[in-house]
A and B are shown apart, each in its own frame.
Chain A
Amino acid sequence: MLVPFAAFLSGLIFGLGLILSGMTDPAKVLSFLDVAGPWDPSLMFVMLGAISIGFFAFRVAKQRGQTLLSTPVHLPGIRTVDLRLILGSLLFGMGWGLAGICPGPGLVLAASGNVEGIVFVVAMLLGMLIFDLLEKHHQSGSNLNYRQPGNIERK
């Protein structure tokens, strides 16, 4: 029961952090990406702030080799830069540049009832579903090339 509760609290805190940081305002994100226009570097400070805490959290997790509850820590096993990572990140960057919305802020916007946020999130979920279908299709076609999706969550 503690794990789902911690996860709930983490999601709530994460969302509040996103809102405070200004990242749920797509115009602000686009101003960060618009380096040739009037540039707003705020997003870089959001990342620095998050990493300033995250860096130590991951160090603790690595040193302990387990969580504070003595359960396993699930870290991505894959280490090599491959074509999937590159093409996927390029495609994500295109969508991010078009809308100024990435998954976290998108969900927060949609939850607050913002119509544009809902349009974005429905399309995003559809995209994830398409990915799953393609992966399953690929899996049934050839087991050689298949790799589990979402390895970022896996051990």
Chain B
Amino acid sequence: MPMQPLPMAEANALSPWQPGVFSLSIYFAAVLVLTIVLLALATWLGERRPSVEKLRAYESGIIPTGTARLRLPVPFFMVAIFFLIFDVEGAYIFSWAVACYDLGWKGWSQISFFIAVLILGLIYIWRKGGLEWGPTFKKR
């Protein structure tokens, strides 16, 4: 392989930090002090009159009917996770498809292997009952 000049960023490729950092730290301190002063003043001067109406969770004007921490059926979660896995893999397949002709048969065989592994994963999920909706009584 012929040696070519290797790229290397100049030492001063990024802008120098010295002049800017002083005003940045002043600004940072000012923001910090202002926030603390505002919060402290609000606590110190403000009045607190809690009532049932004020303490209720805000639901855009609708009276809440119960806790938000419902127990959802687990298949929703499973399907969401499986969708996410295969959806992300889709991104790789799309990027192969864009360059499909350039990559030729070698690229085709590689993406086929990738898809085969995905299908193997799908078969695994299927066999293990991950796609069952509702309770199953099969004892594995």
The answer to whether A binds B is no
Residues of A participating in the B interface, judged by any CB pair closer than 8 Å: none
